[in-house]
Chains A and B, each alone.
Chain A
Amino acid sequence: EPEVTQTPSHQVTQMGQEVILRCVPISNHLYFYWYRQILGQKVEFLVSFYNNEISEKSEIFDDQFSVERPDGSNFTLKIRSTKLEDSAMYFCASSGERGYTEQFFGPGTRLTVL
């Protein structure tokens, strides 16, 4: 069964460093998302991406964040200069054809900023 994959599963970085979180969405999906979950809190939307551009972003997704689909399979989230408060679990999700459809989540990347 097709699934969303994410790498790495755990990333530890120093404050101020750049990190890139990688996702491989389900191959025939068109919509891609990043969410994050700070420990003990609810899941929050960061950004959605369609047709090689951002379709919606939240207040959290400031200039420190960027997303890219560098090739036909990968979808990346870059944090330019990490802060302590960026420590969280980051989930990638994808959904299929036009119209409202189910979102499929990856296993998450746990980011720890020291």
Chain B
Amino acid sequence: KNEVEQSPQNLTAQEGEFITINCSYSVGISALHWLQQHPGGGIVSLFMLSSGKKKHGRLIATINIQEKHSSLHITASHPRDSAVYICAVGGETSGSRLTFGEGTQLTVNP
């Protein structure tokens, strides 16, 4: 059974700051997902990655498979980035379950 740990649990930043959220997992995986959950509850997929680094706008996600660790970075943070960011890992077969971390509540103040 995979355990997914995220840190920090809560993060408050000032607008413009560089944000890093970390995720560690215990068992080898096929892919890791970063998701964003808005106050209304909806979940949006930000990244799926199995190696290296991906970038989309101001968001950057990296993964180190050997160390079983991933980071999500937000550059030039903005109040609209305020949300819960969730790391989830998937097993090694098609259609396999995602195992979720607890999430990181990010608040960006103007």
Contact = CB atoms under 8 A, between A and B. Distances in A.
Contacts of A89: 41
Contacts of A55: 95
Contact of A43 (B42, B86, B95): B86
A22 B98 CA distance: 21
A56 B41 contact: no
Contacts of A45: 97-99
Interface string A30-58: 11010101000011110010100001101
A23 B14 CA distance: 39
A44 B103 CA distance: 12
A56 B101 CA distance: 20
Given A104-B45, A105-B45, A44 B96 contact: no
A37 B98 CA distance: 13
A36 to B, nearest CB: 11
A91 interface: yes
Contacts, number: 61
Nearest to A110: B41
Contacts of B96: 48, 56
Contact of B43 (A50, A91, A110): A91
- 9 closest Cβ pairs, A-B complex: A45-B97, A31-B95, A105-B43, A43-B100, A102-B48, A100-B30, A107-B42, A42-B100, A50-B95
Given A56-B95, A110-B41, 13 more contacts: A31-B94, A35-B98, A42-B100, A42-B101, A43-B86, A45-B97, A48-B97, A91-B43, A95-B95, A98-B94, A100-B31, A104-B45, A107-B41
18 contacts: A30-B95, A35-B98, A42-B86, A42-B100, A43-B88, A43-B98, A44-B100, A45-B99, A48-B95, A55-B95, A99-B94, A100-B94, A103-B45, A103-B98, A105-B35, A105-B44, A108-B41, A108-B43
